[in-house]
Copies of this chain bind each other. A is one copy, B any other.
Amino acid sequence: MAKIVYVHTGGVGTPERSATPIYLATTAACMDVEVGIYFTVNGPTLLKKGVPETLIVPKYDGKGAPLRRFIDQAMEMGVKFYVCQPSLDLHGLTKDDLIDGVEMIGGAAFNDMALEADQVISF
């Protein structure tokens, strides 16, 4: 079974970057690929409770969807959500501040996952 790890570094300050890696991850999971997304740098801010419901993925016509929709589709397809522990620290967040279904891992576990993957694709 093929494996892809997406890395998501963009946070609440760049909403136009928020959905693409999650959308691609969902697409890959539909293709029977084992998929994880690693939220690091500013990425964990997207997973703070309350954010996915209110952060709108911008669209030129003003009819963007909330990020929550992309996250729900990904989780329903079995995409795994991981957050980088030191990145949480940078933002003063703890695991309890995050939405359900997110696993916290450190740098070594991420590197292991990256080496086991067929591709690591960063955003």
Contacts of A57 in B (CB 8 A): 90
Q: Look across to chain B and name the residue whose beta carbon is closest to the beta carbon of A117.
A: B119
Interface pair B91/A123, CB less than 8 Å apart: no
A60 to B42, CA, bound (A): 12
Contact status A20-B59, CB under 8 Å: no
Contact status A119-B120, CB under 8 Å: yes
How far, in whole Å, are A2 and B120 apart by their CA atoms in the complex? 15
Distance (whole angstroms) from the CB of A50 to the closest CB of chain B: 17
Q: This chain: how many copies in the complex?
A: 3
Report the interface size for chain A: residues with CB under 8 A from the other chain: 45
Q: Is the CB of B20 within 8 A of A40?
A: yes
Evaluate whether A20 and B115 lie within 8 angstroms (CB atoms) in the complex, with A92-B60, A121-B7, A123-B9 already known: no
- B2, B40, B86, B123: the one contacting A115 at CB < 8 Å is B2
Q: A86-B23, A120-B121 are in contact. Are A31 and B108 (CB under 8 A)?
A: yes
Q: Which 8 A-B pairs have the closest CB atoms?
A: A60-B92, A27-B107, A122-B122, A28-B111, A24-B107, A114-B119, A119-B120, A120-B121
15 contacts between A and B (CB under 8 A): A9-B17, A20-B41, A20-B84, A20-B86, A23-B86, A24-B107, A24-B110, A24-B111, A27-B106, A27-B108, A28-B111, A31-B111, A59-B92, A117-B119, A120-B121
